[in-house]
A and B are shown apart, each in its own frame.
Chain A
Amino acid sequence: MLEVKALSTYFYQDEAVVKAVEGVSLSVASGETLGVVGESGSGKSTLALSLMRLIYPPGKIVSGEVVFNGQDLMKLTEQEMIKIRGAKISMIFQDPFTSLNPVFTVGDQIAEAIELHQGLSRKQAWNKAIEMLEIVKIKDPGVRIKDYPHQFSGGMRQRVMIAMALGCRPEVLIADEPTTALDVTIQAEILKLLKELQKELKLSIIYITHNFGIIREVCERVIVMYKGRKVEEGRVQEVLENPKEDYTKSLINSLRALRDRS
């Protein structure tokens, strides 16, 4: 359903060119969860942003195709791309504390995309937003919808982000390390929520993280990234049991080491 072919994104800084993403290909089927794992600097976040064409100067998507439902997103105009973002492909980000606009209520922020993409009236969109808050399991959605982001805890803010991203029932959700900034217990809750939502809404998820443990819990397939390139790929079980690359081995080992120590 979503197929990426040889995507490359470079950053041009003064004299140097940083090849953040180099020739990466991947595919995600409907309802599937694909993991993208790698250390910081491996290019995984840039890859995610490139899929949505959210790369701005000095960055540039240099080559590649992103075929979504038969259409190459790289060939669309910005006007057409806007209709895809938030509506067909959504993204949630790592830091819930800075990713929500502090001066608008969460209701405004959730309803905004719904109003825009689905052509609903303010009131209808608002009601849908309340529904979304319920779906992400926020108590008293009718009351809390009028609150501002700073009035929520980190975990709840992330739920709001999820509500915001899923409001228009997109087909693909790109999750860029959504739990990295949260406590471990909250992390587990968010992961559980995402799994449930995936089943309910028949969502495909691209899950980006540096943590193989999460990959193991949530994903069916995984790709491993290192310095902008894809170095390994496969079903999660297989990769964990038989990692082909040394790098993958060291990633898995560090996970095991942490686990054994605790």
Chain B
Amino acid sequence: MRKFFFKRLLQLIPLLIGISLISFFVMHLAPGDPTALFIDPNVDPQELARVRANWGLDQPIYIQYFKWLGNAIKLDFGRSYMTGQPVIGEIAERLPNTLILMISSYILTLLICIPVGVYSAVKKGGWFDNTFTVLSFAGMSIPTFWVGLMLMLLFAVQLDWLPATGNLILPLITMTIGSLAGLTRYQRAAMLEVLNQDFIRTARAKGLPERVVIFKHALRNALIPIVTIMGLSLPDLFGGAFIIETIFAWPGMGRLGVQAIFSRNYPLIMGIVMFSALLIVLGNLFADIGYALVDPRIRYEKK
């Protein structure tokens, strides 16, 4: 078990390096000079050269990369071009807000998608199933940012029940709707598959009441794939966070990232990319561990 954990942790490293490589080089392929951000390019060329040297921008790209990598390992991601503050500090300030949003969304999603998915499967073809199937499809087709806009329109603008920005509720609902749709369908499919298994027939043949067959024997098995799926949906969740935080002005890492991109704030962009990637990969790792915990076939060896 422990071996499994460490092996996976080790696999993280090449992955993160790969991500950093791609991001760094993509960033630096950009036409245009970031120095334009903090100094008027029409200024004295000597001054310009000094500023560039100051920020290490005069070095060839691969040297810049290795310098960055060396520092990154020490968790020093340089300073923001905008504010001059350490990148890591800026991220640390915003990260908790993003985590609050994402974790609450996760929990809310789980609380809804499991019962809905299970009930849809058990009463397959019934009105509940049909209604929620259409709703799920609709949910998957709606652009998340538009849901955000509509919610804002309804609750903040027209009804004035909730503030448009700074409040957790609207971004939370928007993010949850985004993930709910797909996950509910997965849960339903997982439950349907389990209900078709032979051991369900065996359970019924033992004289177990249907209630026990479904909520003990079937459900326990149907919960297994959900753990993995939720891990896999992390990148999308993050992507959603970027946009949602921007619309609702939620002071999280996502909004910071979008601002950084618009202002070509390379150190900040790199920092956020790495952090996002790290969180996603860690999330997957925990999903794998969760899977092993939940499925005894992974945990115990054959005898």
Contacts and interface: CB of A to CB of B under 8 A. Distances in A.
Please tell me whether chains A and B touch each other in their complex, using a CB distance cut-off of 8 A: yes
Interface of A: 52, 54, 82-87, 90-91, 93, 95, 98-104, 112-113, 116-117, 147-148, 150-152, 161, 164-165
B32 interface: no
Interface in B11-54: none
Contact of B201 (A54, A84, A147): A54
Contact of B207 (A102, A117, A150, A161): A117
Nearest to B205: A91
Contacts of B207: 82-87, 113, 116-117
Interface in B61-117: none
Nearest to B217: A101
Interface in B117-167: none
B199 A102 contact: yes
A104 to B, nearest CB: 8
B60 interface: no
A84 B204 CA distance: 11
Nearest to A152: B303
23 contacts: A52-B205, A54-B201, A86-B206, A87-B207, A91-B205, A98-B198, A99-B198, A99-B202, A100-B199, A100-B202, A101-B220, A102-B295, A102-B296, A102-B297, A103-B294, A113-B206, A116-B208, A147-B300, A147-B303, A150-B300, A152-B303, A161-B202, A165-B205
B204 A85 contact: yes
Greatest chain A CB density within 10 A among B209, B220, B300, B303 is at B303
Contact of A90 (B197, B205, B294, B296): B205
A46 to B, nearest CB: 13
B292 to A, nearest CB: 13
A82 B207 CA distance: 5
Residue with the greatest number of chain A CB neighbours at <10 A, chosen from B202, B205, B217, B301? B205
Given A98-B197, A101-B217, A151-B301, A85 B205 contact: yes
Return the 8 tightest CB-CB contacts between A and B, nearest first: A86-B207, A85-B207, A86-B206, A98-B198, A101-B199, A113-B206, A91-B205, A99-B198
Contacts of B203: 101
Contacts of B197: 98
Given A98-B197, A148-B296, A152-B303, A103 B208 contact: no
Contacts of A150: 296-297, 300, 302
A152 B297 CA distance: 12
B199 A99 contact: yes
A151 B201 CA distance: 21
Given A147-B303, A148-B300, 17 more contacts: A85-B207, A86-B208, A91-B205, A93-B202, A99-B198, A100-B202, A101-B199, A101-B217, A103-B221, A112-B208, A116-B206, A116-B208, A148-B296, A150-B302, A151-B302, A164-B202, A164-B206
